[in-house]
Amino acid sequence: MLEHFLSFINEEIDGCWIFLGPWDGAGYGLFSYKGFRDRAHRISWILHKGDIQDGKSVLHTCDNRPCCNPDHLWLGSQQDNIDDMIAKGRAAIGEANGQAKLNDAAVTNIKKLLDNNLHHYRIAEMYNVDERTIRFIRDGITWRHVL
């Protein structure tokens, strides 16, 4: 099975093994193994390093979705994946998120209003956002990068 899998690999620059078979809509390779179809980097992990523990994801150190090089893969939780994405600057946080109704300047002002004890529902009215948005800012759940 390993030889068959490796026949779909093209070694590329920086040591990435690019999967040449079909890809899903997110850019990950797809491969059938033991009667099930999964992302190729996950199959590569199984073939080279063994089972994937429950609750674990196969993550890329290279951030190259079609890469199947087992040396570029590691097991982690979904939170590890999110933390890695943020640490590498790949997360659309704050005003970089196309769906954001606020910008950094507005959030700076909102934090000042919160510091002055203006109630979150009044601030929400001022900025035409849901009051949960203001509570999330207040509690440091969102917009943490704005001081």
Give me the helices (H) in the chain, please.
2-6, 40-49, 78-87, 104-115, 120-127, 131-138
Q: Domain ranges in the chain?
A: 2-87, 95-138
Contacts of 53 (CB under 8 A, 6+ apart): 75
User: What residues does 100 pair with on adjacent strands?
Assistant: none
Q: pLDDT-derived band of residue 92, with 50, 70 and 90 as boundaries?
A: low
Q: pLDDT-derived band of residue 97, with 50, 70 and 90 as boundaries?
A: low
User: What residues does 75 pair with on adjacent strands?
Assistant: 58
Range scoring the smallest mean pLDDT among 4-8, 48-52, 85-89, 137-141? 85-89
Does position 2 have pLDDT exceeding 70, yes or no? Answer: yes
Whole-structure pTM value: 0.64
Q: Return the CATH architecture of domain 2-87.
A: Alpha-Beta Complex (3.90)
Distance of CA 41 to the CA centre of its chain: 16
* pLDDT digit string, tens, across residues 99-122: 778 888 999 989 999 999 899 889
